[in-house]
Structure 1
Amino acid sequence: MTDLSLSQYLSWLNTVSGTQYTDASLIQSLWSGYGACFRAVNKDTGKPVVVKCIRPANSTAHPRGWQSDLSHQRKLRSFEVEHYFYQELAPLTGSACKVPDYLGGSAEGDKRLIIMEDLSACGFPLTTHSLTLSQAKCVLRWLGEFHGRFMHYSDGKVWKEGTYWHLGTRQNEWAAMPDSPLKSAAVQIDVALKNARFSTLLHGDAKVANFCFNKQFDDCAAVDFQYCGHGAGIKDVVYFMGSALSDEDQRNGKETCLRHYFSALKGSLAKHCPQTDAEAAEAEWRGLYDLANADFHRFLAGWSPEHVKINRALQDSTDNALAGLQN
C-alpha cells in the first residue's frame, strides 16, 4: 500500500496546483501500491477533476509475486510516458477517440501528479468489465480512429514498442514458461509483430476497464496510457476483445469485430493519413491477428498460467498462429 492517506494526497494536489480542491474520493489504488487515483472538486468552480498520484511506497509488492527492480523501473517509466501522453499527445486526438483533457501536474523524482478532466462529468460515467458484441463496437471504433490518426507517427518519448507484455520486457515470464511450442516460437512471433510494415501508436493497455462509456454504451473515452508506444494496431484490438467479450463471443464474433474496427480505421486514415494504403494495412494486420493473440498468450503462460483469459478462443488462435509459422 502507498504511504499516504487520501487527505495527504489532497494536500499535495492543492500545493502543486495552487488551487483549492475539496471532497476527495478514492477511485482506486494503483497497481502494487504505487499511488492512487481519486476525484476532487475545484472549490472555486465546483467542477470535478480526476487526479492520478504516483508516489511509490518504500516497499512495493506485486500481487502475483513478480516484483523486481526491472519491473519497478518499467512501472516508473510507464508513468512518465503517461504524463507525456496527456501533456503532448492528447491534444492531437479528438472527439472520435476521446481522452481526458490534461489540466496540470507535477513531476519530482519518482513522484508524479497528473490532473485530468473528469470523464464522468462530460458524458462518460460508466465503466464495466464485460461487453456484448454490440456494445464493443464503440471501443473498436475508438481504436480504429486512434490508430488511423497516429499511423506511422514517430515519437521517442513514448515506448519504442507499445504494450506491457511484449517479449523484450518480459524475459523473466518467458523463462518461467514450461517447454512448449509456444515458448519455442516466442522470438519468431515477436519478430513478426515488430516487423509489421504498418505501425501506429498503440493505447498499450486497451482492456475494457480502461474505457469509460456513456449511458447507452454506444460511445466511449479511454484512460491509462502508461504503455502507449509504437506497434501494429491489431495488438490493441485482440487485447481488448479478450478483456471484454465472452469466450463464445470472441470465437463467433471475431469477423464482426474486425469488420467494424477496420471500417473505422479506414475512415480515420482517409481523414488523417490519406497517403496510407488502407487496404494493405488491413491485410497485414488481419494476417497478424493470431500472432498477436499468441504473443499475449505467451505472456500469460509465464506470468499467470491459470489466468481466466487463457480460454478456448485464445488457445484456438494460438494454435492457428503456431500452425501458420510451420507452413
Structure 2
Amino acid sequence: MSTRHLEKHIPELKLTDLSISLWSGCGQIQSGFFDSQPVIVKLSEIPESINHQVISQSDFAKQRKDKSYLNELNFYNNPICKLAYENVRPRCYFAKRIDVLNILILEDFESKGFQNIDDYKFEHVYAVIDWLAQFHAKGLNLIGSERFPIGGYWHLETRPDEYKRMGSVELKRCASYLADSLYKAKYQTLIHGDSKLANYAFDNNYNVLGYDYQYVGSGIGLQDVMLFMTSVFNGDTCAKYESSILNLYFESLSKALSNTMSIKEYELLEREWRTLWPIVWADFYRFLNGWKPEHKKITQFMQNKFSEVLNRI
C-alpha cells in the first residue's frame, strides 16, 4: 500500500519523509501526525523472501514473524491490556491489519520527553528492572482471564530450524526439559518478550516506556530480566550484579503485588522463579546455540548456568 493510499484509508494521518527500515526488509517506520499529534507509524508485512545474514528463513520462520506483528496489534487492541498498561507504553491511535499490511500508529514519545539511549547509567538499569516488576505484577493478574501466546522470540516450539542446527548434544538433549520447566511453571505472567535496552525509552527522571511488543505473551518474569541483562552486561558484569538485580526485582515485585497477593503466595512465587533462574539462562543458551553459536551473548556466565541445570537433573 502506497503512502498516498494509506493516508486516504486513514484520513487523520499525515506522513512525513522520515523513514527507517524494519528487520530484514519487513517494513518501515515513518514519522507523521495523527489529528495533528506527532506519531510514529510502524508499517510491516512479510516479503516473499527474507535474506537474513545469520540463518535462512524457512516458511515456518516467515509465518512466525508474521504472527509476531499480529500479536503486537492484538496487544494494543486488547481492552484489558489497554487499561493495565496505558501508562507504561506509548499511546496507541490505530492498530489494524489491512490486507497484508500491519499498521500501528503510536504517539511519538520524544514529544513527551522520552528518548532512547545508547550509553546507560545504572539508574537506567534499575529503572527498567522496576518497570519489569510492575509490568509482571499486572500480568499475574491478567494471565488467568485472557489467553495469550507463549511470550519471547526464542521458545522451543517456534524454533525448529534453530533446534536442528544445534551443535551442543547436551543442550539439545535438555531442550524439552528446559521448555517444559518454564512453560509449565505454576506462576505465569505476561512478559514483554523482547526486553532489551533498545526497546525502552526514558525521560530525565528515569521514568520508562516500553515498546516493540511483537513477542509479548505468557512466561515467567525472570525471562525478561535475563534478556535485559544480556543487552547491557557482559558475562563478568552479569556475575557481578546478578544478586543485586534479582534482589531489586523481587523487592519491586513484592511491593507491586502487596494488595493483590498474600505474603505466603508471593513467597511461593519468588521461590519458584528463583529456582528457575538457571533454566531461564540455559533455555536462551539453547536458542543461541542453534541460531548463532559464536554470539557474544554466549558467555561463561551463561554456560555456568547451564552447568547448574545439568547438576540438578
Same fold (TM over 0.5): yes
Paired position in structure 2 for 1:267: 255
Cα offset for 1:20? 4.5
- 8 Å contact 1:193–1:232 — kept in the other structure? yes
Give 3-state SS (helix, strand or coil) of 2:258's partner.
helix
Paired position in structure 1 for 2:27: 35
State the distance in 1 between where 2:176 and 2:261 align. 33
Write out per-residue CA displacement over residues 136-166 of structure 1, whole angstroms, 9 at most, x where no aligned residue. Answer: 111111110000011051466631x111101
Q: Which amino acid in the other structure matches residue 84 of structure 1?
A: N
Structure 1, gaps ≥5 residues long? none
Q: Is residue 174 of structure 2 the alignment partner of residue 181 of structure 1?
A: no
Paired position in structure 2 for 1:82: 72
Write out per-residue CA displacement over residues 168-227 of structure 1, whole angstroms, 9 at most, x where no aligned residue. Answer: 1112211211243222111111111112110001111111111112245x2211111111
State the distance in 1 between where 2:169 and 2:238 align. 24
Q: Is residue 281 of structure 2 the alignment partner of residue 288 of structure 1?
A: no
Cα-Cα RMSD = 2.0
Give 3-state SS (helix, strand or coil) of 1:185's partner.
helix
**Pairs aligned (count):** 309
Q: Is residue 47 of structure 2 the alignment partner of residue 54 of structure 1?
A: no
* TM-aligned CA distance change 1:205 to 1:178, over 3 Å: same
Q: Is residue 14 of structure 2 the alignment partner of residue 21 of structure 1?
A: yes
Q: Which amino acid in the other structure matches residue 210 of structure 2?
A: A
State the distance in 2 between where 1:248 and 1:215 align. 29
State the identity as a percent.
31
Q: Is residue 164 of structure 2 the alignment partner of residue 210 of structure 1?
A: no
Runs of 4+ displaced beyond 4 Å: none
State the distance in 1 between where 2:234 and 2:82 align. 31
- TM-score by length of structure 1 reads 0.88
* TM-aligned CA distance change 1:182 to 1:22, over 3 Å: closer
- 8 Å contact 1:133–1:245 — kept in the other structure? no
Q: Is residue 156 of structure 2 the alignment partner of residue 164 of structure 1?
A: no
* TM-aligned CA distance change 1:181 to 1:20, over 3 Å: closer
Give 3-state SS (helix, strand or coil) of 1:48's partner.
strand
Give 3-state SS (helix, strand or coil) of 2:29's partner.
strand
Paired position in structure 1 for 2:102: 112
Structure 2, gaps ≥5 residues long? none
Paired position in structure 2 for 1:311: 299
Q: Which amino acid in the other structure matches residue 188 of structure 1?
A: Y
State the distance in 2 between where 1:165 and 1:237 align. 15
State the distance in 2 between where 1:13 and 1:138 align. 37
* TM-aligned CA distance change 1:290 to 1:131, over 3 Å: farther
State the distance in 1 between where 2:305 and 2:232 align. 17
* TM-aligned CA distance change 1:22 to 1:136, over 3 Å: same
